[in-house]
Amino acid sequence: MYIVDSYTLAVVFCVLTMLGWGSWANTLKMTPKKWEFPLYYWDYSIGLVLTTLLFGFTFGSNGAAGRDFLSDLAQAESSALASAFIGGVIFNLSNLLIVAATAIAGMAVAFPIAVGLALVIGVVVNYINTPLGNPYMLFIGLALVVVAILVDTAAYRKLPQDVSGNKSKGIIISIISGILMGFFYKFVADSMVVNFATPEVGLLTPYSAMFVFTIGVFLSSFIFNTWFMYQPVTGRRVTFRDYFSLGTPKLHLIGILGGLIWCAAMEFNLMAMEKAGPAISYGLGQGATMISAAWGVFVWKEFDRAPKGTGKLLAAMFAFFIVGLSLIVIARLN
């Protein structure tokens, strides 16, 4: 299988993760209002599984080191499979909530709050589990990310009610999503080998761990996403009949593309984990908060009707995120 062989390349892969995780939700914004987010999500989850198969039979099946994709799945112990699967279930609920929050509050709000909070929780949890990197720089960086989240929340509250919708609802859903999202990565990391070149018996490599993870996402969607279809937090109630009657090839492809973008980013992140460490690879990847906020502010114009002075808050948010993420990267070099 393909293995990342340097910290520099690992950082590049984590930056790709950041770009992918911060951009996939644009595909949701591209869908019409009649295509409620639970309908979009079925195609998104299918896109996740297809992407892991693509990576598994390419990157995961070529190279002299490690185990190939199918052999790795065959030798995995039930505890490793369960851990990756549970990670997918936890992620799925948190991701559905962030999609709902995006539909209510927009990308520039839902992602900085939810993913920023997930970054803080995830880095702390993963650092306790695998303490790699300078803790002072790491946690100062996290503190700055927390400040950025608070500043973004303050900017959102300045929006007129007819633009922001139910402000409290959007913020609360984002917070719940962020708390859940902060824990999923540890389960995936726990299912994986430590040494990618000579992988331990019974554990999973990045490619097989991601496949099991996405199966957890897809199967749990029949519980979580079905609930959101019939008990929506925003928009109208939809049914499985709507998925087939309202869906067009273009709409289905948009959802699959969203899953491909997110999943490819996650694959790159796990590939980088050995060299960067779980805390830093996860933390840098969750710099997606800054990317998604930029999409929301500059492309989707989600703050165009905000009162005077909001721009300064948004500029401060970006500054705190950039400095905080830079410290998280530097932490591994010290």
Identify whether 107 is part of a domain. Answer: yes
Give 165's contacts (C-beta < 8 A, 6+ positions apart).
104, 105
Which structural domain range is residue 57 located in? 7-331
Report the interhelical angle of 167-190 vs 107-129 (nearest 10°).
30
Identify whether 1 is part of a domain. Answer: no
Output the six-digit token pair for 195: 């040494």
Output the six-digit token pair for 57: 């039979």
Q: What is the mean pLDDT of residues 130-139?
A: 85
Identify whether 44 is part of a domain. Answer: yes
Identify whether 318 is part of a domain. Answer: yes
Tallying the residues shown for the chain, one arrives at 334
pLDDT in tens, 199-236: 999 999 999 999 999 999 999 999 999 999 999 887 89
Residue 161's pLDDT band (boundaries 50, 70, 90)?
Answer: low
Q: What is the mean pLDDT of residues 81-102?
A: 93
Q: What pLDDT score does 326 carry?
A: 85
Mean pLDDT of the chain: 89
Q: What is the mean pLDDT of residues 183-198?
A: 92
Three-state DSSP at 163 gives: helix
DSSP string, 11-50: HHHHHHHHHHHHHTTHHHHTS-TTS-HHHHHHHHHHHHHH
Write down the residue that tokens 């957890």 correspond to. Answer: 216
Identify whether 2 is part of a domain. Answer: no
CA 263 to chain centre: 9
Residue 43's pLDDT band (boundaries 50, 70, 90)?
Answer: very high
192: left (phi over 0), alpha (psi -120 to 50) or beta: beta
Share of the chain above pLDDT 90, in %: 52
Residue 164 pLDDT > 50 = no
Residue 113 pLDDT > 90 = no
Q: Which residue has the higher pLDDT, 153 or 13?
A: 13
Per the structure, the count of domains in the chain is: 1
